[in-house]
Amino acid sequence: MNILCNPFFLLFVIVGLLFLLRVLLISTGLIYTTKKWWKSIEDRFHVYQLFKVPEFNESMQENQLYCKVSVYLNTLASMEDSDFTNLFTGKKSNEIILLLDSGQVIDDDFLGASVSWINEVKTDASRSRAFVLKIRKADKRRILRPYLQHIHTVFYEFEQKKQRELKLYMNTDRDQNQNPRWRFVPFNHPSTFETIAMQSDLKNKLKSDLESFLKAKQYYHRLGRVWKRSYLLYGSSGTGKSSFIAAMANFLGYDVYDIDLSRVLDDSDLKLLLLQTIRKSVIVVENLDRFLLDKSTAVSFSGVLNFMDGILNSCCADERIMVFTVNSKDHIDPAILRPGRIDVHIHFPLCDFSAFKTLSNSYLGVKDHKLFPQVEEIFQSGASLSPAEISELMIANRNSPSRALKSVITALQTEGERRGSVNVGRRLLDTGSRNSTDDSSEQLDIFSKEKFNAVKDITKLYKLLRVRSKGKAQSHD
């Protein structure tokens, strides 16, 4: 009895029981259940206010705050401690990405106040997504604005540490579930301005033009113009138009939106796609001339014009580059080519000797070779191939630069002979047509002379007969 009444013994027993209770709660998971119960009881004594951050705004443009909140939540330790989280493989094989599930709640603390984020995904036809911020009304005035500013700061710090991963967006068919029209994949194209085959002067001018565009926001707005730049790339297939677009995107650090006009339902659908693009992006429409000639899609010519330079374009195309590619400008309506819709025209010709040296350095690692003078001489004679054709020959023979150059020489000579025979055939056809034209003209002239002489003889005969008949009439009288 004396031991039981000893306060030190009682304190020891109480501490021991508390320790055993804690071990029991942690080992069995009851501590998490207890925390949930305590939080639910605590919530009954507070009034909360909800703030919704939807994925898209009213004009169906991507809400940048939604993206920032998504990045911010992934940096929280409570993300890993939540009851349920989706795991995905990242860009790297050893990278794991945590993503919230529908209805999942993430808790956060800021300036001594507790807040919660709820991932809301609707299961109806809209399939809309949003983050809902749950904050106590007593703490709202004190922490709301600083908390949102904190999210912005964490997001920009995260972006600076991590190199921005470019994305390639592709438009999809509209379905009944109203799924997002843009699907994306990582944009990992290796093309740069150093690797593309283009004249050095033109390449430097284009780089300067793009750098000037990046710094011209205030200048464009002072003029009352939308801050965008439009390029028309024209030339035969395989001349490097697509590689140039990739080099442009890598140089600017912009995402790429590749619009397939055959998947666009009508003019309004094309406008909706433009609305859902984001800033710092390159919007690409390839083979525009084929679309204009084929006219197999539901998009009208006026719809294309408004897409390039309409009211909606002026409101939603800020800080964007628009690129259109065609094989030839011969059949393009002048209304499309006017300044404002197209600012810069870039011709992509067949490969010349300067472009050949760039390709040789990129594909073979050869800056000079004893066969270069022979290649230059063939180029000067008029023979040429597309950069894609020459690149393929170099790739096939990349283990032997000499064999690769010889294969290029053989292909250039074959192409030159083919073009020469075609030119000779054309000259023969032209000569034959001229000879046939000359013969027909001579025949026409001869026929005219003979006809003129025959008429002259008939006239003389008519006069002679008339004189004789007049003499007979006088003798009769």
Whole-number pLDDT of residue 13: 74
Long-range pairs for 351-355 at CB < 8 Å and ≥24 separation?
351/197, 351/239, 351/384, 351/385, 351/386, 351/387, 351/389, 351/390, 352/379, 352/384, 353/379, 353/380, 354/199, 354/200, 355/197, 355/198, 355/199, 355/387
Per-residue confidence (pLDDT) for residue 234, from 0 to 100: 94
Instruction: State the Cα–Cα distance between residues 92 and 86, nearest whole angstrom.
Output: 17
Question: Which pLDDT belongs to residue 31?
Answer: 59
Low-confidence ranges of the chain (pLDDT < 70): 1-6, 9, 22-46, 78-98, 123-127, 160-164, 175-179, 295-296, 416, 419-477
pLDDT for 445 equals 36
> What CA–CA distance (Å, rounded) separates 280 from 266?
26
Q: What are phi and psi of 321, to 5 degrees?
A: -110, 130
Gap between the Cα atoms of 213 and 210, Å rounded? 5
- Per the DSSP assignment, residues forming a β-bridge with 258 are 170, 284
User: What pLDDT, on a 0 to 100 scale, did the predictor assign at position 163?
Assistant: 58
d(CA 360, CA 365): 6
What is the predicted pLDDT for the residue at 236?
87
CA–CA dist 384, 419 (Å, integer): 10
DSSP state of 35: H
CB neighbours of residue 49 within 10 Å: 13
